[in-house]
Amino acid sequence: MLFSEKLRKEADEIYQGIFRHPFVEGLGKGDLDPESIIHYVKADFEYLNAFMNIYGLAIAKSTRREDMAYFHEQIAFVLNGEIHPHNNLCRVAGVAYDDLKGFPLPPTADHYVSHMKSTALTGSMGEILAALLPCPWTYYEIGKYLMETVQPKPDHPFYEWITFYAEDEVGQITNELRRRLDTWAKGVGPDELEKAKVAFLKSCQLEYRFWDMAITKEIWPFSVEQEVTTS
Ligand SMILES: Cc1ncc(CN)c(N)n1
Protein backbone atom coordinates (compact mmCIF):
# COMPACT_ATOMS: atom_id res chain seq x y z
CA MET A 1 0.00 0.00 0.00
CA LEU A 2 1.33 3.46 -0.87
CA PHE A 3 2.19 5.79 2.02
CA SER A 4 -0.56 8.25 1.07
CA GLU A 5 -3.10 5.39 0.97
CA LYS A 6 -2.07 4.44 4.51
CA LEU A 7 -2.49 8.06 5.60
CA ARG A 8 -5.95 8.26 4.03
CA LYS A 9 -6.97 5.05 5.82
CA GLU A 10 -5.72 6.35 9.19
CA ALA A 11 -7.61 9.61 8.66
CA ASP A 12 -10.86 8.03 7.48
CA GLU A 13 -12.74 8.81 10.70
CA ILE A 14 -11.80 12.48 10.30
CA TYR A 15 -12.83 12.53 6.61
CA GLN A 16 -16.20 10.95 7.47
CA GLY A 17 -16.63 13.54 10.24
CA ILE A 18 -15.91 16.33 7.76
CA PHE A 19 -18.51 15.03 5.25
CA ARG A 20 -21.11 15.10 8.03
CA HIS A 21 -20.03 18.45 9.48
CA PRO A 22 -22.90 21.01 9.75
CA PHE A 23 -21.04 23.50 7.53
CA VAL A 24 -20.52 20.91 4.80
CA GLU A 25 -24.14 19.76 5.20
CA GLY A 26 -25.19 23.40 4.88
CA LEU A 27 -23.24 23.68 1.63
CA GLY A 28 -25.15 20.65 0.34
CA LYS A 29 -28.56 21.84 1.52
CA GLY A 30 -27.87 25.42 0.48
CA ASP A 31 -29.06 26.79 3.82
CA LEU A 32 -25.87 28.09 5.49
CA ASP A 33 -26.11 30.95 7.96
CA PRO A 34 -24.69 34.04 6.15
CA GLU A 35 -22.73 35.04 9.29
CA SER A 36 -20.96 31.65 9.30
CA ILE A 37 -20.13 32.08 5.61
CA ILE A 38 -18.67 35.52 6.32
CA HIS A 39 -16.63 34.17 9.25
CA TYR A 40 -15.31 31.38 7.04
CA VAL A 41 -14.34 33.60 4.10
CA LYS A 42 -12.57 36.15 6.34
CA ALA A 43 -10.47 33.37 7.86
CA ASP A 44 -9.96 31.47 4.61
CA PHE A 45 -8.67 34.52 2.73
CA GLU A 46 -5.90 34.89 5.31
CA TYR A 47 -5.39 31.11 5.50
CA LEU A 48 -4.83 30.92 1.74
CA ASN A 49 -2.38 33.81 1.88
CA ALA A 50 -0.44 31.90 4.55
CA PHE A 51 -0.68 28.75 2.41
CA MET A 52 1.10 30.61 -0.40
CA ASN A 53 3.77 31.75 2.10
CA ILE A 54 4.29 28.08 2.98
CA TYR A 55 4.76 27.17 -0.69
CA GLY A 56 7.37 29.94 -0.67
CA LEU A 57 9.11 28.30 2.31
CA ALA A 58 9.02 24.99 0.42
CA ILE A 59 10.69 26.72 -2.54
CA ALA A 60 13.37 28.03 -0.18
CA LYS A 61 14.04 24.44 0.96
CA SER A 62 13.96 22.94 -2.56
CA THR A 63 17.20 21.62 -3.99
CA ARG A 64 15.77 20.75 -7.42
CA ARG A 65 14.61 23.29 -9.97
CA GLU A 66 11.69 21.03 -10.87
CA ASP A 67 10.40 21.24 -7.27
CA MET A 68 10.71 25.03 -7.35
CA ALA A 69 8.66 25.15 -10.57
CA TYR A 70 6.04 22.86 -9.01
CA PHE A 71 5.52 24.97 -5.88
CA HIS A 72 5.50 28.11 -8.01
CA GLU A 73 2.65 26.69 -10.13
CA GLN A 74 0.68 25.79 -7.01
CA ILE A 75 0.87 29.39 -5.78
CA ALA A 76 -0.73 30.51 -9.07
CA PHE A 77 -3.63 28.11 -8.55
CA VAL A 78 -4.38 29.41 -5.04
CA LEU A 79 -3.97 33.01 -6.17
CA ASN A 80 -6.14 32.84 -9.29
CA GLY A 81 -8.36 29.80 -8.75
CA GLU A 82 -9.69 29.86 -5.22
CA ILE A 83 -11.19 33.31 -5.57
CA HIS A 84 -14.07 31.65 -7.48
CA PRO A 85 -15.47 29.57 -4.59
CA HIS A 86 -14.94 32.57 -2.29
CA ASN A 87 -16.91 34.77 -4.68
CA ASN A 88 -19.73 32.20 -4.71
CA LEU A 89 -19.88 32.26 -0.88
CA CYS A 90 -19.85 36.07 -0.80
CA ARG A 91 -22.69 36.28 -3.34
CA VAL A 92 -24.88 33.97 -1.24
CA ALA A 93 -24.04 35.89 1.96
CA GLY A 94 -24.79 39.18 0.19
CA VAL A 95 -21.40 40.78 0.92
CA ALA A 96 -18.54 42.18 -1.17
CA TYR A 97 -15.43 39.97 -1.15
CA ASP A 98 -13.20 43.01 -0.67
CA ASP A 99 -14.97 43.75 2.63
CA LEU A 100 -13.86 40.37 4.04
CA LYS A 101 -10.12 40.74 3.37
CA GLY A 102 -7.46 41.63 5.92
CA PHE A 103 -9.00 40.26 9.13
CA PRO A 104 -6.89 38.52 11.81
CA LEU A 105 -7.04 34.73 11.86
CA PRO A 106 -9.40 33.25 14.50
CA PRO A 107 -7.68 30.85 16.97
CA THR A 108 -8.24 27.62 15.00
CA ALA A 109 -7.10 29.06 11.68
CA ASP A 110 -4.12 30.62 13.47
CA HIS A 111 -3.26 27.21 14.95
CA TYR A 112 -3.52 25.54 11.52
CA VAL A 113 -1.29 28.14 9.86
CA SER A 114 1.26 27.93 12.71
CA HIS A 115 1.34 24.14 12.36
CA MET A 116 2.05 24.35 8.62
CA LYS A 117 4.60 27.16 9.01
CA SER A 118 6.56 25.44 11.76
CA THR A 119 6.53 22.20 9.74
CA ALA A 120 7.79 24.10 6.70
CA LEU A 121 10.56 25.75 8.73
CA THR A 122 11.76 22.74 10.70
CA GLY A 123 10.54 19.63 8.86
CA SER A 124 11.70 17.49 5.96
CA MET A 125 10.25 17.89 2.46
CA GLY A 126 8.02 14.89 3.18
CA GLU A 127 6.64 16.46 6.36
CA ILE A 128 5.90 19.66 4.46
CA LEU A 129 4.04 17.77 1.70
CA ALA A 130 2.15 15.77 4.34
CA ALA A 131 1.10 18.91 6.24
CA LEU A 132 -0.11 20.57 3.01
CA LEU A 133 -1.94 17.57 1.54
CA PRO A 134 -5.20 17.63 3.58
CA CYS A 135 -5.96 21.09 2.19
CA PRO A 136 -6.65 19.97 -1.40
CA TRP A 137 -7.47 16.36 -0.54
CA THR A 138 -10.29 16.95 1.97
CA TYR A 139 -11.86 19.64 -0.27
CA TYR A 140 -11.65 17.40 -3.35
CA GLU A 141 -13.42 14.63 -1.46
CA ILE A 142 -16.01 17.07 -0.05
CA GLY A 143 -16.67 18.26 -3.62
CA LYS A 144 -17.11 14.71 -4.92
CA TYR A 145 -19.22 13.72 -1.90
CA LEU A 146 -21.58 16.68 -2.42
CA MET A 147 -21.75 16.03 -6.18
CA GLU A 148 -22.83 12.46 -5.52
CA THR A 149 -25.20 13.07 -2.62
CA VAL A 150 -26.75 16.40 -3.71
CA GLN A 151 -26.31 16.27 -7.51
CA PRO A 152 -26.54 20.06 -7.61
CA LYS A 153 -28.09 21.83 -10.61
CA PRO A 154 -26.71 25.20 -11.80
CA ASP A 155 -29.37 27.01 -9.74
CA HIS A 156 -28.09 25.47 -6.47
CA PRO A 157 -26.73 28.36 -4.30
CA PHE A 158 -23.34 26.66 -3.91
CA TYR A 159 -23.12 25.09 -7.38
CA GLU A 160 -19.89 26.95 -8.19
CA TRP A 161 -18.25 26.02 -4.87
CA ILE A 162 -19.17 22.34 -5.16
CA THR A 163 -18.22 21.94 -8.83
CA PHE A 164 -14.94 23.88 -8.34
CA TYR A 165 -13.68 21.45 -5.68
CA ALA A 166 -15.09 18.32 -7.37
CA GLU A 167 -13.31 19.19 -10.61
CA ASP A 168 -10.46 17.23 -12.16
CA GLU A 169 -8.03 20.12 -11.58
CA VAL A 170 -8.32 19.80 -7.79
CA GLY A 171 -8.10 16.01 -8.20
CA GLN A 172 -4.90 16.39 -10.22
CA ILE A 173 -3.42 18.77 -7.63
CA THR A 174 -4.20 16.22 -4.90
CA ASN A 175 -2.78 13.32 -6.91
CA GLU A 176 0.42 15.16 -7.76
CA LEU A 177 0.99 16.10 -4.10
CA ARG A 178 0.35 12.46 -3.16
CA ARG A 179 2.73 11.23 -5.87
CA ARG A 180 5.51 13.48 -4.57
CA LEU A 181 4.90 12.37 -0.98
CA ASP A 182 4.85 8.68 -2.01
CA THR A 183 8.12 9.09 -3.94
CA TRP A 184 9.73 10.74 -0.88
CA ALA A 185 8.37 8.01 1.41
CA LYS A 186 10.09 5.25 -0.59
CA GLY A 187 13.51 6.69 0.29
CA VAL A 188 13.21 7.27 4.07
CA GLY A 189 13.00 5.21 7.26
CA PRO A 190 10.17 4.67 9.78
CA ASP A 191 11.01 7.67 11.99
CA GLU A 192 10.72 10.07 9.07
CA LEU A 193 7.47 8.42 7.96
CA GLU A 194 6.04 8.70 11.46
CA LYS A 195 6.77 12.44 11.59
CA ALA A 196 5.07 12.95 8.21
CA LYS A 197 2.05 10.95 9.41
CA VAL A 198 1.73 13.11 12.52
CA ALA A 199 1.92 16.28 10.39
CA PHE A 200 -0.75 14.93 8.02
CA LEU A 201 -3.17 13.87 10.76
CA LYS A 202 -2.82 17.19 12.58
CA SER A 203 -3.72 19.06 9.39
CA CYS A 204 -6.76 16.77 8.92
CA GLN A 205 -7.92 17.47 12.47
CA LEU A 206 -7.48 21.19 11.89
CA GLU A 207 -9.45 20.98 8.62
CA TYR A 208 -12.34 19.62 10.70
CA ARG A 209 -11.88 22.34 13.32
CA PHE A 210 -11.79 25.02 10.60
CA TRP A 211 -15.40 24.14 9.71
CA ASP A 212 -16.30 24.23 13.42
CA MET A 213 -14.68 27.65 13.68
CA ALA A 214 -17.03 28.95 10.97
CA ILE A 215 -20.19 27.44 12.48
CA THR A 216 -19.44 28.67 16.02
CA LYS A 217 -18.02 31.98 14.67
CA GLU A 218 -15.02 31.40 16.91
CA ILE A 219 -13.18 34.50 18.08
CA TRP A 220 -10.36 35.33 20.48
CA PRO A 221 -11.47 35.79 24.12
CA PHE A 222 -10.47 39.47 24.27
CA SER A 223 -10.70 42.09 21.55
CA VAL A 224 -7.11 43.35 21.81
CA GLU A 225 -5.36 44.41 18.61
CA GLN A 226 -4.34 41.46 16.41
CA GLU A 227 -1.73 41.20 13.73
CA VAL A 228 -2.90 40.95 10.11
CA THR A 229 -0.15 39.74 7.86
CA THR A 230 -1.59 40.38 4.42
CA SER A 231 -4.08 42.53 2.52
C1 LIG B 1 -8.95 25.70 5.43
C2 LIG B 1 -8.94 25.37 3.98
N3 LIG B 1 -8.55 24.10 3.60
C4 LIG B 1 -8.55 23.79 2.28
C5 LIG B 1 -8.91 24.68 1.32
C6 LIG B 1 -8.93 24.28 -0.13
N7 LIG B 1 -7.76 24.66 -0.78
C8 LIG B 1 -9.29 25.95 1.74
N9 LIG B 1 -9.67 26.89 0.85
N10 LIG B 1 -9.31 26.28 3.08
140 touches ligand 1 (CB under 6 Å): no
Calpha distance 143→163 (Å, rounded): 7
Counting atoms of ligand 1 from 1, which one is nearest the CA of 170? Answer: 7
CA of 189 to the centre of ligand 1 (A): 30
In order along the chain (231 residues), what is the average pLDDT of each group of 10 residues?
98 98 98 98 97 96 95 94 96 98 96 98 97 98 98 98 96 97 98 98 98 98 78 64
Q: Quick one: pLDDT at residue 229? A: 67
* Active site annotation includes 90: no
Sequence-distant contacts of 223-231: CB under 8 A, at least 24 apart: 226/104, 227/104, 228/46, 228/102, 228/103, 228/104, 229/46, 229/49, 229/50, 230/46, 230/49, 230/50, 230/102, 231/101, 231/102
Residue % of the chain over a pLDDT of 70: 99
Q: Quick one: pLDDT at residue 223? A: 84
CA atoms within 13 A on the CB side of 42: 23
CA of 11 to the centre of ligand 1 (A): 17
For 6-20, b where at least 16 C-beta lie within 10 A, e where not — what string? ebbeebeebbebbbe
Q: Quick one: pLDDT at residue 226? A: 76
Residue with the smallest CA separation from ligand 1 atom 2 is: 135
CA of 82 to the centre of ligand 1 (A): 9
Calpha distance 111→148 (Å, rounded): 32
Site to probe by mutation for ligand 1, drawn from 24, 37, 41, 51 as the one with most ligand atoms within 8 Å of Cβ, is 51
Q: Which of 46, 90, 127, 135 is catalytic?
A: 135
CA of 44 to the centre of ligand 1 (A): 7
123 touches ligand 1 (CB under 6 Å): no
Calpha distance 77→173 (Å, rounded): 9
Site to probe by mutation for ligand 1, drawn from 18, 45, 47, 83 as the one with most ligand atoms within 8 Å of Cβ, is 47
Q: Quick one: pLDDT at residue 61? A: 93
ipTM of the complex: 0.99
210 touches ligand 1 (CB under 6 Å): yes
Q: Which domains does the chain have, with CATH numbers?
A: 3-216 (1.20.910.10)
* Nearest residue to 22 via CA among 2, 36, 11, 4: 36
Residue 164 dihedral angles phi and psi, to the nearest 5°: -60, -50
Calpha distance 212→23 (Å, rounded): 8
Calpha distance 197→184 (Å, rounded): 13
Q: What is the pLDDT of residues 159-192, one digit of tens each?
A: 999 999 999 999 999 999 999 999 999 999 999 9
CA of 79 to the centre of ligand 1 (A): 12
